[in-house]
Amino acid sequence: QKEVEQDPGPLSVPEGAIVSLNCTYSNSAFQYFMWYRQYSRKGPELLMYTYSSGNKEDGRFTAQVDKSSKYISLFIRDSQPSDSATYLCAMKGQGGSEKLVFGKGTKLTVNP
């Protein structure tokens, strides 16, 4: 079993839809959870950064972490064509030597 599992998609939705992106993980030591958005031929852009369990909201984006289920989610409300990108989940344990572990990324297309 891989440390981080993420459905690669592709996921296609109409403009205005609510998008749900998810990752599961196996390492209970993970404490910090991130979502990155990557446009084609660009580096990943940090969207959300959360610590431990709970929800975090930033504009149209909501990140949820359920450590008991080892499951994290990113919700995008009122999706826009400009949200079309690959979304990568990433996570790490406590401490500076802990490496960031990425999911494979989910390719999202929002159709106008």
Partner 1 sequence: GAVVSQHPSRVICKSGTSVKIECRSLDFQATTMFWYRQFPKQSLMLMATSNEGSKATYEQGVEKDKFLINHASLTLSTLTVTSAHPEDSSFYICSASRLSINYNSPLHFGNGTRLTVT
Residue ranges that bind partner 1, judged by CB under 8 A: 8, 31-32, 34, 36, 41-46, 49, 51, 88, 90, 92, 94-96, 99-100, 102-105
Which residue number, 17 or 102, has a Cβ lying nearer to partner 1? 102
Q: Beta strand pairing status for 11-14 and 106-111? A: parallel
CB 110 within 8 A of CB 79: yes
Q: How far is the CB of 34 from partner 1 (least distance, A)?
A: 6
Which residue number, 14 or 95, has a Cβ lying nearer to partner 1? 95
User: Tokens 């296609």 correspond to what residue?
Assistant: 12
Rg (CA), the chain: 14
Q: How far is the CB of 67 from partner 1 (least distance, A)?
A: 16
Q: How far is the CB of 40 from partner 1 (least distance, A)?
A: 10
Token pair in block for residue 94: 């406590």
Token pair in block for residue 68: 């008991």
